[in-house]
Amino acid sequence: MITVKSKYTGNLSTEAVHVKSGNGIVTDAPVDNNGKGEAFSPTDLVAAALGSCMMTVMAIAGEKKGLNMEGMNVESTKIMSANPRRISEIKMDFFWKDCTLSDDDRQWIKNIGLTCPVALSLREDLKQSIEFHF
């Protein structure tokens, strides 16, 4: 079954629709690569996917143990290399102001996040700098 349908809409932009839900996203080339930077770039989506995937698998595991994961958030920084043009590093800073997990549960949940499907799918030479501030 098709997961996503995408089309090029001109001016270095695309539209993608999640087939099952009908939700859509728009991408635009970044300013440093001839675009207007008016939407996520495709490489921005990679950084967003990593953060979202990590939080999702942590929430799935946490909820199975009765842990409330609400309030966790992440700030992502994507670093590009020039030759070849690709993502060379993704920095992730996770915050959870009111985290009440024990030290053991904190370490357990962090390890779950670090082994999410997106993290394991990225190139081994793409540096993933992950910091947990909770």
Task: Give the tens place of pLDDT for each residue, 11-66.
Answer: 999 999 999 999 999 999 999 999 999 999 999 999 999 999 999 999 999 999 99
Output Rg (C-alpha) for the chain, integer angstroms: 17
User: How many Cβ atoms are within 10 Å of 12's Cβ, its own excluded?
Assistant: 16
Peptide bond into 30 cis (omega under 30): no
Residue carrying the six token digits 């993704």: 90
Secondary structure class of 1 (helix, strand, coil): coil
Q: How much is the pLDDT for 65?
A: 93
Q: Using the 8-state DSSP alphabet, how is residue 126 labeled?
A: S
Alpha carbon distance 129, 81 (integer Å): 16
- pLDDT(68) > 90: no
Phi and psi, residue 47, nearest 5°: -65, -45
The string of pLDDT tens digits covering residues 70-117 is 999 999 999 999 999 999 999 999 999 989 899 999 999 999 999 999
Beta strands in 19-119 (DSSP E): 24-28, 73-82, 85-95
